[in-house]
């Protein structure tokens, strides 16, 4: 998978609460324009790989 986030963005996301990081990424994806579920999956996979979010958190926040 290609890295979607640059180092500075990842570091900024690390400083946020898990909910704020999730919302920040979701909002950024919507602002880009037409977005598919694959776009969201790729973004959240990278956040999980980086240790910023867990899949449990993503499922919890996505259910709101």
Which of the four pLDDT bands, split at 50, 70 and 90, describes residue 2?
low
Is pLDDT of 54 > 90?
yes
What average pLDDT does range 54-59 have in this prediction? 96
DSSP three-state, residue 30: helix
pTM for this prediction: 0.87
> In this prediction, what percent of the chain has a pLDDT beyond 70?
95
Give the CA dihedral 18, 24, 62, 46, nearest 10 degrees: -70
pLDDT of residue 64: 63
Q: What is the pLDDT of residues 9-29, one digit of tens each?
A: 999 999 999 999 999 999 999
Give the three-class secondary structure for 14. helix
């Amino acid at each position: 998978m290609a890295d979607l986030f640059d180092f500075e963005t990842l570091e900024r996301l690390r400083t946020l609460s898990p909910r704020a990081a999730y919302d920040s990424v979701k909002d950024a994806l919507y602002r880009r324009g037409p977005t598919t579920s694959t776009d969201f999956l790729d973004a959240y996979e990278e956040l999980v790989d980086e240790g910023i979010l867990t899949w449990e958190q993503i499922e919890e926040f996505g259910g709101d």
